[in-house]
Amino acid sequence: MRVTFWGAARTVTGSKHLLTGSSGTVLLDCGLFQGHRAESEARNRALPFNSAAIDAVVLSHAHIDHSGSLPALARSGFGGKIHATRTTVDLCRPMLLDAAHLQMKDAEFMNKRRNHNHKRDPVQPLYTTEDAERALELMVGQDYETPFEPIPGVSVMFHEAGHIAGAAAVSVRWKENGREGSLVFSGDQGRPDRPILKDPTLPDDVPIARVNDPDLTRRMSEYVVLHVLMHHRQQRRLDENQRNKLWDSFPTHAAPALTTTLATAVATLACR
């Protein structure tokens, strides 16, 4: 199984993590990058992968930095299923339709400014409400703690994340070439003992237990390590020295550069 970190790598927004295996491809989250206009436009205008080649999406929760590019995904050729908890499916309707409305109004505003400045090329919205409706039609609700197969041979289960209503951590298990593998994507984890939300729960075999590091600079960098937790049969915790060694080996720029190096490094360290 190959893991490609297309978003939320060295940043905490625009979550997109692509799993590619012998039985197909699964995208974990498809979030909108949120930031300054120029950077957001550059990151959001074109998806960094072939949407039509993705077989399924597994969505951790409804926040726009995790779900906001789903209409763009549907617009660009994706036709598979989008799996999420039932509450997340319900929340995505107002969230995605509102996001689409904002995209259309933003493009309208920018075009008025361009016309005033005699610039001819109109700005197109990232997606429209029709694209959002198309994405919503692809969504399938799943229960917590109940395994399902987004693609053949890959089993997924949602676990309570305690972040917002419907939020989930995602455990993924597969078997390829006679070897079993698993991955736990924590999504956004909440705090325990809150008055309304349930406490977060992660599988017992997660190799790294710490998430949401209070040091913000390390939190940004460790999103890749701590929010995408990969292990195989021999499960061992990565100690602080191993995590620092892994982080120090990362390139200092774009997420695609982390593709094979990170997946191999995490798998290797986890199996030692």
Domain boundaries, the chain: 2-271
- Identify the pLDDT of residue 239: 52
What is the rounded CA–CA span in Å between residue 80 and residue 138? 7
The DSSP 8-state label assigned to residue 237 in this structure reads -
Taking 80 as the threshold, does the pLDDT of residue 214 lie above it?
A: no
Taking 50 as the threshold, does the pLDDT of residue 236 lie above it?
A: no
Task: Specify the CATH number of the domain 2-271.
Answer: 3.60.15.10
Q: Are 134 and 74 in contact (CB under 8 A)?
A: yes
Structure tokens at 253: 């720029």
What is the rounded CA–CA span in Å between residue 17 and residue 4? 6
Please state the pTM of the whole predicted model.
0.76
Q: Which amino acid is residue 84, in one-letter code?
A: A
Q: Are 27 and 18 in contact (CB under 8 A)?
A: yes
Give the residue among 15, 25, 61 at the shortest CA–CA distance from 159: 61
Give the residue among 244, 269, 236, 225 at the shortest CA–CA distance from 9: 225
The DSSP 8-state label assigned to residue 144 in this structure reads B
Taking 80 as the threshold, does the pLDDT of residue 19 lie above it?
A: yes
What is the rounded CA–CA span in Å between residue 80 and residue 39? 29
Taking 50 as the threshold, does the pLDDT of residue 95 lie above it?
A: yes
What is the rounded CA–CA span in Å between residue 21 and residue 33? 26
pLDDT in tens, 45-92: 889 899 999 999 999 999 999 999 999 999 999 999 999 999 999 999
Least confident of 7-16, 171-180, 246-255: 246-255
In 59-210, where do the E strands start and end? 81-85, 139-142, 148-151, 154-160, 168-176, 179-185
What is the rounded CA–CA span in Å between residue 183 and residue 189? 16
What is the rounded CA–CA span in Å between residue 139 and residue 82? 4
Which has more confidence, 229 or 205?
205
Tell me what the mean pLDDT of segment 226-243 comes to: 42
- Identify the pLDDT of residue 27: 96
Structure tokens at 127: 């997606």
Confidence of residue 248 (pLDDT cuts 50, 70, 90): low
Q: Which residues pair with 158 in a beta bridge?
A: 144, 170
Taking 80 as the threshold, does the pLDDT of residue 175 lie above it?
A: yes
